[in-house]
């Protein structure tokens, strides 16, 4: 029971286990009643995951920053002539995988730019070598944007590209590249990137092959409240059909060093807005088991508070995150397992180490 709120009717719906619609979602997004939002989100979070908070020991590898898309919100991707351009050799990637093996990771997370000099074989060989070094770890690699790019350079269908990647060791697709599905928003921030519809099609194809994947939304730039809700509901529709999504990760926009920096109305998100986005995601995505805070972007303290506002998963013991740090994130790049467990326990939650597929490895 939550007393006195402009959202009382929606609280009743949530308490009765009823699904919220588009108009309800927009009202949530425009409400300032963070405690009512938190109450609803926490109710759902505890129904789904009890007191558990999941975390993963993983390592991120960004293999190249050369990218032909040059999205306006991205400070990471550069042209190949840029002095900052880099591409890791397969030997560099093997070295990172050996280090990760020492750290006891259960997941390797690999994403990069669309580099026209790299053949499809580079990616297949990368997967084979990483799997050879870390046979027990899951490889979560290549966003739907990269998968679409592989279809362009090979002439193969999405399903065939995915089959070949899976045969080489790919276990799961990360959630990047979704941004905001609205064509209006994409025209303003990433006009060269695949459409939202194509992003969803690729996820659906992956789910059809039995692969589980993640979903994201990049918020806090030019999008409206309505466009955020539309994005969430398109994800919910696909999840109703496939049940292939593992988790949803809202990503707050970092403007520094991007083409959007300094544009009218574009500023860094605030803590209140971040918390609101997490709660609204938890409330609307009633068919997603998990909502994840990426502490690298939210900052560790807000990420910890989010565990009372709908979030049940903290990612991760990340190493070498480059994408958000290029855009001005000042958080560290590494969090020890001990520090993650401490954050979770001090929030009154039970810390559960998981793998990519949310199989429990250890409860703390
Ligand atoms: O698609 C790029 C975002 C994404 C900026 O699946 C930016 O578990 C903020 O998707 N400010 C890649 N965000 C990272 C990603 C991700 C991260 C952690 C976990 C998972 C997962 C996925 O990063 C891109 C884009 O949406 N991004 N530039 C920026 N300036
Ligand atoms: Fe390239 Fe991805 Fe950055 Fe866009 S967000 S420029 S596709 S690396």
Res 334 pLDDT > 80:
no
Per-residue confidence (pLDDT) for residue 332, from 0 to 100: 67
| pLDDT class of 3 with cuts at 50, 70, 90 | low
67 marked ligand binding residue: yes
Per-residue confidence (pLDDT) for residue 210, from 0 to 100: 98
Ligand 2: which residue has its CA nearest to atom 5? 74
CB atoms within 10 A of CB 261: 17
Mean pLDDT in residue range 334-359: 93
DSSP 81-112: TSTT--B--HHHHHHHHHHHHHHT-SEEEE--
Res 296 pLDDT > 70:
yes
| pLDDT class of 333 with cuts at 50, 70, 90 | low
Res 181 pLDDT > 80:
yes
How do residues 122-178 score in pLDDT, each as one tens digit?
Answer: 999 999 999 999 999 999 999 999 999 999 999 999 999 999 999 999 999 999 999
356, 211 Cβ separation under 8 angstroms: no
Which one of 60, 68, 77 would you pick to mutate in the ligand 2 pocket, going by the greatest count of ligand atoms within 8 A of its CB?
77
Res 293 pLDDT > 70:
yes
SS3 173: strand
Query: How far is the C-alpha of 87 from the C-alpha of 123, rounded, in Å?
Result: 12
C-alpha closest to that of 154 among 126, 118, 206: 118
The helix or strand, by DSSP H or E, that contains position 49, with its residue range, turns out to be: helix 34-49
How do residues 63-116 score in pLDDT, each as one tens digit?
Answer: 999 999 999 999 999 999 999 999 999 999 999 999 999 988 999 999 999 999
| pLDDT class of 118 with cuts at 50, 70, 90 | very high
Which one of 60, 71, 188, 217 would you pick to mutate in the ligand 2 pocket, going by the greatest count of ligand atoms within 8 A of its CB?
71
Domain regions of the chain by residue span: 19-363
How do residues 246-268 score in pLDDT, each as one tens digit?
Answer: 999 999 999 988 888 877 667 88
Ligand 2 centroid – CA 75 distance (Å): 8
- 242: exposed, middle or buried (Cβ count in 10 Å: 0-12, 13-18, 19+): middle
Per-residue confidence (pLDDT) for residue 4, from 0 to 100: 78
Question: Tokens 């991707």 map to which residue?
Answer: 77
Query: Closest ligand 1 atom to the C-alpha of 318?
Result: 18
Give pTM, 2 decimals: 0.96
C-alpha closest to that of 130 among 63, 177, 212: 63
Query: Closest ligand 1 atom to the C-alpha of 216?
Result: 10
Q: DSSP secondary-structure letter at 64?
A: B
Which one of 60, 64, 70 would you pick to mutate in the ligand 2 pocket, going by the greatest count of ligand atoms within 8 A of its CB?
70
Q: Look at 346 and 325; give whichever has higher pLDDT.
A: 346
Token pair in block for residue 120: 């499809």
Res 222 pLDDT > 70:
yes
Give the contacts of 35 (CB within 8 A, at least 6 positions apart).
2
Question: Tokens 């939650």 map to which residue?
Answer: 349
Q: Check pocket membership of 322 for ligand 2, CB cut-off 6 A.
A: no
Per-residue confidence (pLDDT) for residue 227, from 0 to 100: 98
Ligand 1: which residue has its CA nearest to atom 10? 176
- 294: exposed, middle or buried (Cβ count in 10 Å: 0-12, 13-18, 19+): buried
Which ligand sits closest to the CA of 314?
Answer: 1
Ligand 1 centroid – CA 218 distance (Å): 7
Mean pLDDT in residue range 296-309: 95
190 marked ligand binding residue: no
CATH no., domain 19-363: 3.20.20.70
How do residues 22-57 score in pLDDT, each as one tens digit?
Answer: 999 999 999 999 999 999 999 999 999 999 999 999
Token pair in block for residue 180: 């905001």
Query: Closest ligand 2 atom to the C-alpha of 112?
Result: 8
């Amino acid at each position: 029971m939550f007393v006195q709120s402009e959202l009382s009717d929606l609280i009743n719906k949530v308490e009765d286990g009823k699904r919220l619609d588009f108009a309800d979602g927009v009202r949530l997004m425009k409400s300032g009643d963070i405690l009512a939002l938190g109450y609803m989100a926490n109710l759902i979070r505890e129904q789904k995951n009890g007191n558990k908070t999941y975390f993963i020991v993983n390592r991120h590898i960004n293999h190249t920053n050369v990218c032909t898309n040059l999205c306006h919100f991205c400070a990471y991707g550069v042209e190949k002539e840029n002095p900052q351009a880099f591409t890791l050799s397969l030997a560099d990637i093997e070295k990172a995988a050996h280090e990760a093996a020492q750290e006891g990771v259960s997941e390797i997370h690999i994403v990069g730019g669309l580099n026209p000099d790299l053949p499809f074989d580079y990616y297949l060989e990368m997967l084979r070598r990483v799997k050879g070094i870390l046979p027990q770890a899951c490889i979560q690699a290549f966003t739907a944007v990269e998968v679409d790019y592989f279809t362009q350079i090979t002439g193969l269908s999405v399903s065939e590209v995915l089959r070949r990647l899976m045969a080489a060791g790919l276990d799961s697709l990360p959630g990047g590249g979704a941004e905001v599905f609205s064509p209006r928003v994409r025209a303003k921030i990433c006009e060269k990137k695949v459409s939202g519809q194509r992003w969803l099609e690729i996820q659906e194809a992956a789910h059809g092959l039995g692969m589980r994947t993640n979903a994201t939304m990049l918020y806090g730039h030019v999008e409206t409240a309505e466009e955020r809700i539309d994005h969430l509901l398109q994800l919910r529709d696909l999840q109703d059909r496939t049940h292939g999504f593992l988790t949803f990760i809202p990503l707050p926009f970092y403007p520094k060093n991007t083409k959007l920096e300094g544009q009218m109305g574009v500023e860094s998100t605030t803590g209140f807005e971040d918390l609101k986005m997490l709660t609204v995601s938890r409330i609307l995505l009633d068919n997603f088991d998990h909502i994840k805070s990426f502490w690298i972007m939210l900052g560790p303290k807000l990420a910890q508070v989010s565990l009372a506002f709908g979030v049940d998963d903290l990612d991760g013991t990340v190493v070498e995150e480059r994408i958000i740090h290029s855009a001005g994130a000042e958080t560290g790049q590494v969090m020890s397992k001990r520090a993650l467990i401490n954050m979770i326990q001090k929030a009154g939650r039970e810390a559960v180490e998981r793998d990519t597929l949310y199989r429990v490895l250890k409860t703390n």
